[in-house]
Amino acid sequence: MNKAWWKEAVVYQVYWRSFYDSNGDGIGDLKGVIEKLDYIKKLGVDVIWLNPFYESPDRDNGYDISNYEAVMTQAGTMETFDILLEEIHRRDMKVILDLVVNHTSDQHEWFLESKSSKTNAKRDWYIWKDAKNGGKPNNWRSYFEPSPWTWDEATEQYYFHSFAVEQPDLNWENEEVRKEIYRMMRTWLDKGIDGFRMDVINLLAKPEGFPDAEDPDHISYLADNPGIHDYLQEMNREVLKDYDTMTVGEIPFVTPETGLLYVDENRHELNTLFHFQVADEMPVMDLPKYKAIQQAWYDGLHDRGWNSQFLNNHDHTRQVTRYGNDQEYRAESAKLLATMLHTLPGMPYVYQGEEIGMTGVRFDSIKDYEDIAMKNKYKEEVEKGRDPQEVFESLLLLSRDNSRTPMQWDDGEQAGFTTGTPWIKVNPNKKEINVKQALKDPNSIFYYYQQLIALRKEQPVMVYGDYEDLSRKYETLYVYTRSYEKKTWLILLNHSDKDQRYKFEERCIGRPVHCVIGNYDRGEAGRMHLEPSILLKPYEARIYEWSE
C-alpha cells in the first residue's frame, strides 16, 4: 500500500461553537480556537477538522449555509480565519474544512433567486417538482422532517430537502451548480486549507424520477444513487487532483462493498470515508457485531482504500457514555476505547473533549436542548399523540447535544468556556472532568492519548500493519494483532467491568514481548515471555510487541 501523509495522521475535530468563547457572547469562535491551538498541539495531533463556520442562519448549527465564502458573525471574520490558518500551519498542523454541498440554507441567494419564479435562471439549481395527484411528489421522509417536500405557495411547486425545510438540496444534475461548487472549493484550497470533510457526500445524486419507496421510514433511498461516482470523479479531475489534500467523505448507509467505490485508490474519488455501521446502527457496545464490522471493512478495503476510526463526533453521543462505562470505569474505559481506535486499521479521529473523557449529558427538559434533529423528532412524535415525557426519555441517549455541550476547560461556573451565558448548558460534571485537572494528573486520559498519538509517529505498524482478530470466540474481549515488516503488536482489550481471562493461541505462547502501553499499572512493563493465558482487569487495555 502506498504511503501518504494523511494515512499517518491523527485528526482532532473542533466543534468551534462549543470549544472556546473568546469574547463572552456565549458562543465559541475562531479566535477561541486560535487561543487554544497550543493545547491541541500538545496532544500531538496532525490535522484539525473544523465544523462549518460559513455564513448561516444557523438552523442546523452551520450546516445550512447562506454564503460559502463568508464567515458567520458568531465565528468571527475572514481575517480571523486567515490568522487561524496561518497559526495552525505555523505549528506544523493541517486543517480540513467541512464541505456542505448537498444543500444550502433557504436564505442562500441562490435559493432566493431559484424560488423567485419558475423562469428564474437559477430555478434549476434546486429540485422543484409539481404536485402529484394533488399531494407530495412521493412518499419519502427526510432526516429531520416527516417529508422532504415543502410547498412553495408563490410558484406552486414543491422543493426537495433531505434535511430540514430550511436546507433545500442543490440539483447536482445542473452543470452550472457543479462548476460553481468547484470554483468555491478551489478558492478555499488556494487560500491554503489542506482538505475537506465532505458532508453527506453520497446524497448528491438523486434517483431518477423520485419513485415511491416501499419502506419510506428507511431513508437509505436518499443515498448512493446512480451518478454519484461521476460527480466525485469530476470533482477530483476539476479540483482535488491539483492539490495535496486529504478528503474524508461522510457516507451514511455505506457498506464495505459500496464503500470501496468511494475510496479505491485507482478510482480517484476520495481518500477516506466515515461509515456509520457503528455510530448509526449500534446504540451501545455489541462487541461481536463491532468485530464483524471491523473485519468486513478490513477485508473490503485492504490494500485498496483507506478507512477512518471514530466512535463519536458532533452528531453522536460521546463514546465513553455509549460504548464504555462513564461511571465507575470512566478513565479506564475511555483509555480502552482510545487504545482500540488508535490501533485498528484507519485514521483515528479525536472529537474535542474525548481526550479528557467528557461524557454525554442528561438535561431536565426538552427546553434545554438545541439540536434540530431532536426537537423536530420530539414535535413529530408528540403531535402523533404520544406521551411527551416518554418521547423525551426515548430521545435522550442519542440526542446530538450529548456531544455539543461546551468543552470543559476548568471547574469554574461555565467550565472556563465562556465568561457569558453559554449557548447550550455546560455538563454539570465539569467539576470532576476538565482540562485543568487532566493536565495536572500524569495518569490522565489526556496524557494517555498523547502517548498513543506519539507512538503513531514512531510506529508504522499502527498505520500500515496487517490486522488479524484473535478473539472471535470471546463475547467481551477483543484481541487482535497488527503486523508490519518484522514487528507484531498484540492488542488486548477487556470490554467489560469484570476480570476476564484470555488464552493465547499456541503460536503466541512463550514469545518474548514487552508491553508498549496499558491503562493499568504495568508492573512488568519490561521484557517477559507470554504465559498461556492472561487475566485482564475491568476495561483493561494493553499492547504487547514482539519481533520475528
Just list the catalytic residues: 199, 250
Nearest residue by C-beta to ligand GLC? 63
Decide which of ligand GLC, Ca ion, none touches 163; Cβ closer than 5 to 8 Å per partner kind: ligand GLC
Judged by CB under 5 A, which of 18, 21, 125, 344 binds Ca ion?
21
Nearest approach, Cβ of residue 199 and ligand GLC (Å): 5
Residue recorded with cell 456531544: 403
- Evaluate whether 299 touches 253 at the Cβ level (below 8 Å): no
The reply to whether 177 sits near Ca ion by the rule CB under 5 A is no
Distance CA 285, CA 497 (A): 13
Instruction: Check residue 199 for interaction with ligand GLC (CB under 6 A).
Output: yes
142 vs 309 by CB, closer to ligand GLC: 142
Q: Which of 200, 205, 279, 490 binds ligand GLC (CB under 6 A)?
A: 200
Q: List the one residue from 68, 128, 160, 163 that touches ligand GLC (CB under 6 A).
A: 163
β-bridge pairing 54-55 and 195-198? unpaired
Query: Out of 4, 7, 25, 227, which residue is the one contacting Ca ion (CB under 5 A)?
Result: 25
C-alpha cell at 174: 445542473
Number of residues interacting with ligand GLC: please give it, by CB under 6 A: 9
* Cβ atoms within 10 Å, residue 266: 7
Identify residue 443 by its one-letter amino acid code.
N
Give, for 436, the enclosing helix (H) or strand (E). helix 435-440
Residue with the three cell numbers 463568508: 70
Q: How far is the CB of 164 from ligand GLC (least distance, A)?
A: 8
Q: Rounded distance, CA 91 to CA 81, Å?
A: 15
For residues 421-454, one letter each, b for 16 or more C-beta atoms within 10 angstroms of the residue's C-beta and e for the rest, the string is ebbbbbbebbeebbbebbeeeeebbbbbbbebbe
Cβ 174 to ligand GLC shortest distance, Å: 20
Contact between 100 and ligand GLC per CB under 6 A = yes
Residues 242-261 within binding reach of ligand GLC (CB under 6 A): 250
Per-residue burial over 351-385, b = 16 or more CB atoms within 10 Å of its CB, e = otherwise: bbbbbbbbbbbebeebeebebbbbbbbbeebeeee
Reduce the secondary structure of 344-384 to three states and give it as a string: CCCEEEEECCHHHCCCCCCCCCHHHCCCHHHHHHHHHHHHC
Least distance between Ca ion and beta carbon 20 (Å): 9
Decide if residue 35 touches Ca ion (CB under 5 A).
no
Choices 26-34, 177-185, 427-435, 458-466 (CB under 5 A): range interacting with Ca ion = 26-34
Shortest Å distance, C-beta 425 to Ca ion: 16
> Which of Ca ion, ligand GLC, none does 194 bind, CB closer than 5 to 8 A by kind?
none
Q: How many residues bind Ca ion (CB under 5 A)?
A: 5
CA pair distance 526, 546, nearest whole angstrom: 12
Per CB under 5 A, the list member of 8, 23, 192, 370 interacting with Ca ion is 23
Instruction: Find the part of the chain contacting Ca ion (CB under 5 A) among 17-25, 217-225, 491-499, 526-534.
Output: 17-25
Instruction: Write the CB contacts of 153 (distance below 8 Å, at least 6 apart in sequence).
Output: none
For ligand GLC, the binding residues in 301-340 under the rule CB under 6 A are: 314-315
Site mask for ligand GLC (CB under 6 A), range 54-83, x = bound? ------x--x--------------------
End-to-end CA distance of the chain: 21
Residue 146 beta carbon to ligand GLC: minimum distance, rounded to whole angstroms: 17
Per partner kind, with CB cut-offs from 5 to 8 A, the member of ligand GLC, Ca ion, none near residue 21 is: Ca ion
As measured in angstroms, the least distance from the Cβ of 297 to ligand GLC is 20
The answer to whether residue 29 forms part of the interface with Ca ion (CB under 5 A) is: yes
CA dihedral sign of residues 166, 172, 177, 179? positive
Helix (H, G, I), strand (E, B) or coil at 198: strand
Least distance from ligand GLC to the Cβ atom of residue 372, Å: 7
The residue among 309 and 312 lying less far from ligand GLC, judged by its C-beta, is: 312
Q: Rounded distance, CA 414 to CA 25, Å?
A: 12
Kindly list the residues in this chain that would bind ligand GLC in the complex (CB under 6 A). 60, 63, 100, 163, 199-200, 250, 314-315
Kindly list the residues in this chain that would bind Ca ion in the complex (CB under 5 A). 21, 23, 25, 27, 29
